[in-house]
Structure 1
Amino acid sequence: MALAAAPAQAWGPRGHRLVAELAAGALSPEVRAEVDALLRNEPDPTLPGIATWADELRAKDPDLGRASAPWHYVNLAESGCSYVASRDCPDGDCVVEAIRSQAGILADRARPAHQRLQALKFVVHFVGDVHQPMHAGYARDKGGNTVQLSIPDGSRDGRGSNLHALWDSGLFDSRNESHSRQLARLRALPSSAGETADPADAARWAEESCRIVRREGVYPTRARIDPAYYTAWRPVAEQQLVHAGRRLASLLEHALGD
C-alpha cells in the first residue's frame, strides 16, 4: 500500500479560512476599519482572503517562503510542552516568536503600509498554525508528517496520508459538511480561550497545543484510521479552531485598537 506524505500546512485552506472568519466576525467596528484599510488593494480584501497567503509563499515568493518556513511551528513535545525561548527558538525562527514579532510590526503605525499588511497576513496565518496541535509537537516525526496512515475512502486499502495531514483537514473533510454550516456551528461553540490576548500569549497557546499532541490516543495504535478516531478527536480539533478565531480577534484588537 502506497502512503503519501503531505506538506505541513496547518488546518489546510478550509481551517485557516474558518479561523479568519471567526475572528472577523468578532472585531470591533474601529479595528475592522483598520483591517479593511490595510487590505483594500488585495484581490480578496478580507481576513479569510489572506488566511492561506503564508502557505502560498513557496510558489509566489520562494525567498520569503524559505525564510519564513520555520515560523509555522515549534517543537515542544520532546521537552514536556514547556516553551523555553533559548532552547526551542534560539534564533527567533518559530511560530511563537513570529507571532510576537509580526504583531509588533502590525501595531507600529510608523511602519510603511506594505510592511504592516504583510505582518497582518502572517499574524492571521500563524495564530491558526499555533493552534494546530501537530505544529507544536515532536521534532522526531516532523509534527506527525512521517507517521503514515490509511484513511478510509471506500477502497479496500484506503487512502494514504499521515497524522499531520489528518489533523490539517482530514478530521473535517470526513464529515461532508458545507463550509457555511460548519462555520455557523463553530460560532455557537463555547470557548474558554478568554476575552483578551496579546502577543506574549503565543507561548501558552503553543504549550496548550503540545499537550493535546501528548494525550493518549492522538497517535493511533494502528495505521488504518477508524470512525472512533474521528468521534474522539474532531471535537478537539474544532475547539482549537474556535480558540484560534477568538484569540486572533483579540490579538488584532490589541495591535490595532486605540
Structure 2
Amino acid sequence: MIRRLLVALALLLLPTQAMAWWEFGHETVARIAYLNVSPATRAEIDRLLRQSRLLETPTCGANTIELASYWPDCIKNLGERFSYASPWHYQNVNICQAFDENAACPDGNCVSRQIERQLRLLADVRVPIRERLMALAFLVHLMGDLHQPMHAGDHNDLGGNRVPVDYGIISGRTNLHLVWDGYLAERGISQPEGDARGILAELSEADRAAMRQGDITAWLREGWAASREFAYGTIRADPCVASPDTRPVVTEEIVRRLIPVVRRQVARGGLRLARLLDEAFRPDSPWSRPPERRRS
C-alpha cells in the first residue's frame, strides 16, 4: 500500500507526457537482453559502458546496461542538447486504419527507423566510441519503447495521452498512456516471480526461440495490434469509438487479464534486443552494410 501511494504521489509530479515503461520496464527489458546475449557480446557491451564518462551527462548515468536503458529518457531534462531525439521514442500508427509504418514516421524520426540507425552506428567500428555508446543506450531504450503498445498505436490521441482513465481508485491526471507506461509495468513485472529472471523462468526454450523471430516492422505491427486489442479494447466495446463522458476504469479484473500481456511484451523486447545486439557486435554484422533504400 505504501508503495502504491508513493507511485501515486510521483504521478502527480510528472509532466503530461510520461516516459515509456518508466525506469522499471526499461531496466527489465535491458536485463533480459543482457542475460541472453553471447559472452562476446556481453564483453563488448561492458567495454562500451565503461566509457560512459564520454557522454558528459553527469546527472544521467550509463555505466550499467540498466542505467543506459533509461539514459535516453533522463537526457530529456537537459534542455535543448538532446531535444532532436524526442520523436524517436514512438511511432503511433492509427489503430482504426490499415497498418502503415511509413505514415507514422516523418523523415525517419520514429522508433523503428531509429532502432535500425542505432544498430548501424553500433555495428560500425569506425564510429567514435562516444557515438557507439550513445547508439547502444538509444538501442536498448528504443527496443523497450517499441514493445510498449501505446508507443506503437493510437487513435489520434497522442498514444492515449488524451484518453482519461482511472486506474482503480487512482484518478485525476491518469490517462491510458500513463497506465500502460507505469502502473501496469510496475504491477506486471513485479508479480511473483518478478523481475527479469522471473519473467524468463516462465518461458520454455521454444517460447524464447519463437519470440526472437521476425523483424522490426513485424514487431511494430505486433505492438500496434496489441494497443488496439488490449489497451483501447479493454476500455471500449469498440476500440474505434470514443469513450463516453464518464472516465473508464481499469479495474483489478482488467489488470489481472493484462499482466500476462505486459510480461510477454517485456520478454519479447528483451529477447529480441539480445538478438539484435549479438548481430550488431558480430564481425560480419548485417547491420554494417548500407541500408536498403525504402519506397516512400
TM-score over 0.5 for the alignment? Answer: yes
Select the residue among 20, 25, 39 that pairs with 2:30. Answer: 20
1:113 corresponds, among 129, 133, 144, to 129
Indicate whether 1:208 and 2:197 are aligned: no
Distance 1:31 1:173, change over 3 A: closer
**1:63-78 correspondence runs (5 A):** 63-64=81-82, 66-78=83-95
Alignment correspondent of 1:82: 99
Q: Find 1:257's aligned residue among 251, 265, 282.
A: 282
CA contact under 8 A between 1:11 and 1:167: conserved in structure 2? yes
Q: Normalising by structure 2, report the TM-score.
A: 0.76
The question of whether the paired residues in 1 share the 8 Å contact of 2:211 and 2:268 is answered with no
* 3-state SS, counterpart of residue 229 of structure 2: coil
1:172-224 alpha-carbon deviations (Å, 9 max, x no partner): 434694898333321113246637568xx221111100001111663414522
Contact 2:32 2:270 in 1 (8 A): yes
Opposite residue 220 of structure 1, the aligned amino acid is: I
1:184 aligns with 2:200: no
Change (3 A) 1:39 1:180: farther
Matched, 1:93 2:109: yes
Unpaired runs of 5+ residues, structure 1, are none
Q: Report the RMSD for the aligned CA atoms in angstroms.
A: 2.6
CA contact (8 A) 1:197 1:254 kept: no
- Identical aligned residues as a percent: 33
Aligned residues: 249
Distance between the aligned counterparts of 1:114 and 1:243, measured in 2?
Answer: 28
Displacement of 1:92 in angstroms is 0.3
Tell me which residue corresponds to 1:56: 74
For residues 72 and 166 of structure 1, the distance between their equivalents in structure 2, rounded to whole angstroms, comes to 17
Could you tell me how far apart the structure 1 residues matched to 2:26 and 2:93 are?
A: 22
Q: What residue ranges of structure 2 are gaps of 5+ in the alignment?
A: 1-10, 53-60, 237-246, 284-296
Q: Say yes or no: does 1:34 pair with 2:59.
A: no
Distance 1:61-1:32 versus aligned 2 partners, 3 A rule: farther
Partner AA of 1:164 in structure 2: H
2:120 is the alignment partner of 1:104:
yes
Partner residue in 1 for 2:269: 244
AA partner of residue 73 (structure 1): Y
Q: Give the 3-state SS of the residue equivalent to 1:115 in structure 2.
A: helix
Contact 2:189 2:195 (8 Å CA) reproduced: no
Please report the TM-score for the alignment, with normalisation by the length of structure 1: 0.86
Cα contact 2:25–2:189 (8 A) shared by 1:
no
1:220 alignment counterpart: 235
CA drift at 1:34: 0.7
Q: 1:78, CA displacement in angstroms?
A: 4.2
Contact 2:161 2:175 in 1 (8 A): yes
Higher relative contact order (CA 8 A, sep 6+): 1
Distance apart, 1:160 and its partner CA:
4.0
> In structure 1, how many angstroms separate the alpha carbons of the residues matched to 2:143 and 2:115?
7
Distance of aligned partners of 1:254 and 1:128 in 2 relative to their CA distance in 1, 3 Å threshold: same
After superposition, residues 152-163 of structure 1 pair within 5 angstroms as 152-153=168-169, 158=171, 160-163=173-176
Distance of 2:227 and 2:28 partners within structure 1: 22
Task: Report SS of the residue matched to 2:233.
Answer: coil
The alpha carbon displacement at 1:234 in A equals: 1.5
1:44 Cα offset (Å)? 5.1
